[in-house]
Copies of this chain bind each other. A is one copy, B any other.
Amino acid sequence: MARTLTLSFSCPDTSGIVAGVSAFVAGHKGWIIEASQHTETELGRFFMRVEIRAESLDFPAAEFAQRFAPLAAKFGMDWKVSDSAQPRRVVLLCSKQEHCLYDLLARHVAQDFPFVIPFVISNHENHRKVVEAHGIPFHYVPVTPENKHAAYRQMEHLFREAQADLIVLARYMQVLDEQMCRDFAGRIINIHHSFLPSFAGAKLIGATCHFVTPELDEGPIVEQDVIRIDHSDTPEDMAHLGKDIEKVVLARGLRAVVEDRVLLAGNKTVIFR
């Protein structure tokens, strides 16, 4: 896999943005592998993602940010550039259930998409052995009503020490506190089972992957999917089926975030395939 730089940004919509960006890239001999753009008309905001082959540029990859900054400033961009040579650092938080954890471990081993797991945190000990069999450190951080504040501060300390880019709640059954949601806004994703827990007699159950905000289960949605159930499915069956859809939706959502395909647009997301 060749080294790539991924530029992603949003800015107020105006004419000349694409022309400006593509002239900048072409002016430096950059080879664009993939480019996507979208205008959110109601917001009057433009979104773009450009993937560039790093070695095609006529300057070192490390200088991209500095060289692009003036153009970004001109259009008032909220922007970032990522380098495939520095894979994203993704901390996993889990509880007793294993389906999302194992699924992400398998993807990590296979490097289905480029990410590193600096460590796993759990409020239970049961997955220590499997996590450590991968050479990944495992931190047991129990959370009780009494130690809640201290526990989350300890986790935040661990995240910062490990320079974590993203935090994934892989069926982590504790509610993060407001401070953590704020401190890591836009960097925590969760998987939420089922749209409609109270919809009696529904024929579909689903899962939603979303960014975590202080408002529980209401952050911007990254990915969703459903599976079909019927009257013969017991609550246990539904729990098992729900796990299948949860892990797939979480993994798809994480992949999109890691690949910088997800841009925030108010309480929604723009997701470039």
Hey, which bits of chain A sit against chain B, CB under 8 A?
Answer: 1, 15-16, 18-19, 22-23, 25-27, 29-40, 97-99, 101-103, 105-107, 109-110, 112-113, 129-130, 132-134, 195-196, 199-204, 206, 220-221, 223-226, 230-232, 236, 240, 243-244, 248, 251, 265, 267-271, 273
Sample of 10 further A-B pairs with CB below 8 A, known A38-B231, A203-B223: A18-B22, A19-B19, A19-B22, A19-B27, A101-B106, A130-B133, A201-B267, A201-B269, A231-B269, A231-B271
* Contact (Cβ within 8 A) A15 B31: yes
Chain B residue nearest in CB terms to A36: B36
Q: What B residues does A200 contact at CB under 8 A? A: 267-268
* Contact (Cβ within 8 A) B97 A110: yes
Write the nearest CB–CB distance from A189 to chain B, whole angstroms. 14
Write the nearest CB–CB distance from A253 to chain B, whole angstroms. 10
* Contact (Cβ within 8 A) B232 A273: yes
* Contact (Cβ within 8 A) B19 A25: yes
| Bound CA span A25–B22, Å | 13
| Bound CA span A269–B232, Å | 11
- Given A106-B98, A232-B34, the answer on whether A201 and B225 have CB atoms closer than 8 Å is no
Our pick among B15, B35, B38, B109 for the contact of A29 (Cβ within 8 Å) is B15
Write the nearest CB–CB distance from A182 to chain B, whole angstroms. 21
Write the nearest CB–CB distance from A192 to chain B, whole angstroms. 12
* Contact (Cβ within 8 A) B109 A98: yes
Our pick among B35, B232, B271 for the contact of A18 (Cβ within 8 Å) is B35
* Contact (Cβ within 8 A) A102 B99: no
* Contact (Cβ within 8 A) B230 A271: yes
Our pick among B37, B103, B226 for the contact of A204 (Cβ within 8 Å) is B226
Write the nearest CB–CB distance from A138 to chain B, whole angstroms. 11
